[in-house]
Structure 1
Amino acid sequence: MLNARWAETMRGSVSFVYTTSKAEVSRLNPPTPPQPDKPGLEVDISDVGPDEARWWAAVLAPGQGWLATMLLDEDTTFVAPWSVQLHSDNRFLLSSKDSLSLGEEVTCPSFSEALRFLETFCVRRNIVDQSQAALAAVLLFPTMGTRRGLQLPEFTTNRLDRPTGVDPVIPQHQGQDLNFESRDSGIYQDDVLDRLITVSCHIKGIEPMLLSGFFDPSLECNAASPWLQGARAAIDAVAEGNPLVIGRMIMDRQPMVAPLWVGATILGLQKDLLRPATYGMALIDLPSAVWSGAIQSFIQQPVSDLLVRDGRVTSADQCRLLFLSQSRLHSRVPICQWRPFGGTPLEHTDMEVQAHANCKGHGLRYDGFIWDRVDGKTTYHLADKENTHTCRNPPPIEHTTGSYHVSVDCGKFDNEKEIASENSTRSIFGWLRFDGYAPDEKEIWTHEWLEPYECDEEDEEQCEESPENTHKSSHVETWISGLEYQESLISAGP
């Protein structure tokens, strides 16, 4: 489905064709003999026409039954991001109560035709939910790289028949007005599917969305380790090694990205994702944070309306204002998602912070998404005016009546292992104070987590010269650099 839509929307030399590989057709008379060494699943596709039968034969073919490619230039050909090859050990047989005839078409059907084939099959068997779960899994394919093996869920039967009883009436609408009377079928409409394709292709945003459930914006950077150790201990206590329970726990924790976790659970990626999450190595991607509505970093939160309290500005608000100001040393998003602790007297903060001491309403806003096209032009997708904030209030956690208490083994906590807290603290304060620290922050910067090295007798005098006296505003430093550059040009002469 994604490849068909991709082939229709991409411009240029795009090809979407069948290969010679086809799923085997199960014969009724004489019946197809079983192959014990290659167990398979017999799929009853009902009474379908030749074109639809040919499509199913390609979808369930060993190896690759279809090929979607885009020719970028004479020497470069790209395959569609969701291209897969079915291992020969996975054998599918097509069957029907009547003999099947496969069409001779070479080009794959359009997106609307393929959608009709899939929806008809799913509605007749009441498996629309499974179709959507499969879509959630396929969305993760581009993030997994090439030539990576995937384990299909085990078959619980050797034959997928039509359900007993009378088949439901299947509307025969086609095209953009397609609207089967099935639950949530609108997910396959053009605008929705195009959004999902964009999310799927934005590979650097998938993992941050999946791991957003481990982030708590109320925690400070020096508390990252105990929080993450506690999260891992709770998962171990409840899940007891069951990967399905792991996925469900994180879905409940962050419902905004639950569909992606359905896909991750189907693909068995839970344990791989737990590793970076519990070590505090989660990445940040602001566009995907807005798309999913899940907060990934403290930098998404708005600046406090009352910026100065008791003459001080919190370190977190300083970070937000410096990033919003896009000063030379603070133009990139901090890689640390946890907010820094403490605060600084207003007179010792950067000039960019002091300039906004009396302002209100500052914060990140989402304007939209931009595509740079091969023809040199740019396409914009503007955000909805009512949904421009990058940080929404998280939905309240609902406590179900079936909830129960589980004992968590706190003995596994290692107070000496504070790697996540140490790395987070060093990272965010290094971002905040790139060119020296304020006078009253010496106690922070002489802590072992931030101290770069220990002084010996030979360089003791150098160590006593604290960087506190070298603290400059990034704008002032840029201005000085500009003066030095102009002076060098003057001295060089014409």
Structure 2
Amino acid sequence: MSQLHKVPKDFPVSYPCPSLRHNDVLQPSKEQENTALEKSRSYWYHIASIAYAYLDNGLAPEFTNPQHALHKIPRFPCRLKAQFARPFGNTPIFVLYSEASSTWRLVGNSDCESVKKERTKPALVQIGTASTIPYSFDGKVFSHWVGMTAEKDTGPNYLGILAIGWCYILSAQLIEMQGGSAVMRYTDSLADCLGESPSSSSEEAYYIDVGEVDARIVRWWSAILAKREGWKAIVKDDPDDVFVAPWSASRICETPFILTQKRDSLSPAQTPLSSDEAFYALLKFARLHDLGTQVPIALTIAMSFPMHRYYGMEVKLPLPRKHGGKIPPTTQDVSPMWTQLKQDLPYYMTLSCSPEPDVPCNMVSQWLHPVLEEILCNPPEGKCGEVIALIGAIRRPSVAALWIGAAVGGIGPKLLEKVRRGRPALDSNAFPWTGTPQSSMDDAGSGPYTWGDPEYISRPDVWRLLHLSPTEEDGLSYEASLTTNCALRVTTHLKCPRHKYRYEHWSWELEGGETVQDDDSVKLGRLSKRLKTATTHLRYLDHSQGPLAHTLAMERI
């Protein structure tokens, strides 16, 4: 690992901050603010310099592999029970949900009778949406794909096309797993093929070569590249409600695509490809054009589609370009890694359905000021989206591919907006699922609660202890509180050994009323061994370890 890629280990300052150790007021002094700002500026500019180096020289291999995010994610099951619909996120569009829950168990031996030995947290999993997600090929983020450091040759950038292919595969997989009345259909909307009269002549057409394929594959590509909806993945079709798969998308731009293959027939009623057939059609296309790391990143772009729906945003994909990406210098056998993506798809389906822990929250503006108001206001060549993604990737390498995929679709500005407006909601399952903490609440802390001074308790510990109560509360982690100012349900635990809940398992509700528990610790243990070397490398980068409620897990910058 080159010195360039090291993240400084000596910042942020360890918690609690010595300068505020016995400070029970919420407003830090001017001197404390200036000290925090200078340390923050030093840290963030160093991270930004690493991000710029990645943009110039290519990405680390770990950044393009979403498998690193698979820590304890439950496997999406077959025939989930569709229980109710309600509006989703910032839009009035209804989403179809299934109920689930996570179980957490108290770690260690404790005689404290004020805490439950086991806790169950209810959750909702999205299995359908009443409207497709709009997308276009007007995106600018990673319009020139930088590739990995080993990908030096110039080739096409087909991230956008691959992402729509993955949306189809995810949707088809869900339809197959749900069974029953769930169905996949082609629509009458088709991309043009060579030799046909173009449906649009207002713009220059983009010719897409999908290789020597049969009529069924040509029909599939005609649906993938079609305007509006080329296919429908219907999860539930009632007289009053129709819900389609969460990755169902509709193209709203007029960009004309023409397949260089001729079409043998025009039969919209032709049986759609299964998820496996579509996957291998996509892989054949990727091999034809040596697309390398674009394949896994395109999967993470598709995984971010439900998050765009949550925020009411259009997905903006990069326009296909014949010379807009980096590819391997020679054809490499990446089939095993690509095949593993398909095998792990049920885990990615679940995943698709923060404050800095070491910094006092009353100095959060000083901590974030350099990155929000300086670095990201003047990125090189206007590459704000790329810089956001790579800063997130450097700080949290295990979810780097998710950061990059989400950024390609254009979600970066929305995340910055949420950070500037305050603290976004956190999902407690994101940490055990991905191994990536989001806040100090994901860490039980260490040592006695009064950390050597019986008169003071750190504010994070105050909120950790309040969180033990059946009444869920959230708050800000300031520096320290006098114990005499704390609530009884905090002071009750001052002499207790530290209380920590550990994620145990996930429970799904299936059709027919059956409830099943999902604990893939054995499989994930094997996965951990396969990734041991890479994970060690990632932790070398990640100095502190730190949303996706039922979509994509992301942390605050």
Normalised by the length of structure 1, the TM-score is: 0.64
Q: Is the 8 A contact 1:23 1:92 kept in 2?
A: yes
Deviations 1:438-493 (A, max 9, x none): xxxxxxxxxxxxxxxxxxxxxxxxxxxxxxxxxxxxxxxxxxxxxxxxxxxxxxxx
Once the two structures are TM-superposed, the CA of residue 142 in structure 1 deviates from its matched residue by 1.1
1:294/1:238 Cα in 2 relative to 1: closer, same or farther (>3 Å)? farther
Name the residue aligned to 1:19. 187
Pairs within 5 Å for 1:187-198: 187-190=340-343, 192-198=344-350
1:115/1:102 Cα in 2 relative to 1: closer, same or farther (>3 Å)? farther
1:132/1:233 Cα in 2 relative to 1: closer, same or farther (>3 Å)? same
1:290/1:217 Cα in 2 relative to 1: closer, same or farther (>3 Å)? same
- State yes or no: 1:368 paired with 2:508: no
Name the residue aligned to 2:465. 321
Pairs within 5 Å for 1:158-177: none
Count residues in correspondence: 357
Alignment counterpart, residue 7 of structure 1, candidates 175, 178, 195: 175
Once the two structures are TM-superposed, the CA of residue 352 in structure 1 deviates from its matched residue by 4.1
Deviations 1:2-47 (A, max 9, x none): 11111111243201011122211112xxx86796513221111221
Deviations 1:156-178 (A, max 9, x none): 34999xx999xx79xxxxxxxxx
Once the two structures are TM-superposed, the CA of residue 113 in structure 1 deviates from its matched residue by 1.0
1:350/1:159 Cα in 2 relative to 1: closer, same or farther (>3 Å)? closer
Pairs within 5 Å for 1:467-478: none
- State yes or no: 1:242 paired with 2:387: no
Name the residue aligned to 1:343. 481
Sequence identity percentage? 27
- State yes or no: 1:123 paired with 2:265: no
1:277/1:43 Cα in 2 relative to 1: closer, same or farther (>3 Å)? same
- State yes or no: 1:112 paired with 2:265: no
Once the two structures are TM-superposed, the CA of residue 102 in structure 1 deviates from its matched residue by 4.4
Name the residue aligned to 2:232. 67
Q: Is the 8 A contact 2:466 2:473 kept in 1?
A: no
Deviations 1:307-330 (A, max 9, x none): 232223333223212312x24xxx
Once the two structures are TM-superposed, the CA of residue 189 in structure 1 deviates from its matched residue by 2.6
Higher strand share: 2
Q: Is the 8 A contact 1:303 1:362 kept in 2?
A: no
Deviations 1:102-131 (A, max 9, x none): 484533121111111111111121114222
- State yes or no: 1:184 paired with 2:337: yes
- State yes or no: 1:218 paired with 2:362: no
Counterparts of 1:125 and 1:302, CA distance in 2: 48
One-letter amino acid of the counterpart of residue 472, structure 2:
R
One-letter amino acid of the counterpart of residue 94, structure 1:
L
Q: Is the 8 A contact 1:122 1:131 kept in 2?
A: yes
Counterparts of 1:127 and 1:314, CA distance in 2: 50
1:181/1:270 Cα in 2 relative to 1: closer, same or farther (>3 Å)? closer
2:335 aligned counterpart, secondary structure: coil
Counterparts of 1:227 and 1:135, CA distance in 2: 33
1:383/1:50 Cα in 2 relative to 1: closer, same or farther (>3 Å)? closer
Q: Is the 8 A contact 2:388 2:412 kept in 1?
A: yes
1:187/1:90 Cα in 2 relative to 1: closer, same or farther (>3 Å)? farther
- State yes or no: 1:311 paired with 2:449: no
1:69 aligned counterpart, secondary structure: strand
Normalised by the length of structure 2, the TM-score is: 0.57
Name the residue aligned to 1:447. none
Counterparts of 1:12 and 1:34, CA distance in 2: 37
Name the residue aligned to 1:473. none
Name the residue aligned to 2:9. none
Deviations 1:33-70 (A, max 9, x none): 79651322111122111221211111112221111112
Unaligned runs of 5+ in 1: 170-179, 202-211, 400-494
Deviations 1:317-376 (A, max 9, x none): 23212312x24xxx3251x4x52321333x775554455444435223112222233433
Name the residue aligned to 2:412. 270
Name the residue aligned to 1:256. 398
Counterparts of 2:485 and 2:208, CA distance in 1: 71
Deviations 1:204-256 (A, max 9, x none): xxxxxxxx4xx321111211121122331342366254222232223222223
1:249/1:355 Cα in 2 relative to 1: closer, same or farther (>3 Å)? closer
Pairs within 5 Å for 1:415-430: none
Once the two structures are TM-superposed, the CA of residue 396 in structure 1 deviates from its matched residue by 4.1
One-letter amino acid of the counterpart of residue 317, structure 1:
D
One-letter amino acid of the counterpart of residue 499, structure 2:
H
Name the residue aligned to 1:298. 440
RMSD of Structure 2 on Structure 1 (CA): 3.6
Name the residue aligned to 2:352. 200
Q: Rg: which structure is higher? A: 1
1:35/1:300 Cα in 2 relative to 1: closer, same or farther (>3 Å)? closer
- State yes or no: 1:153 paired with 2:306: no
Counterparts of 1:348 and 1:237, CA distance in 2: 41
Counterparts of 1:263 and 1:144, CA distance in 2: 12
1:73/1:323 Cα in 2 relative to 1: closer, same or farther (>3 Å)? same
Counterparts of 1:296 and 1:182, CA distance in 2: 34
1:362 aligned counterpart, secondary structure: coil
One-letter amino acid of the counterpart of residue 239, structure 1:
P
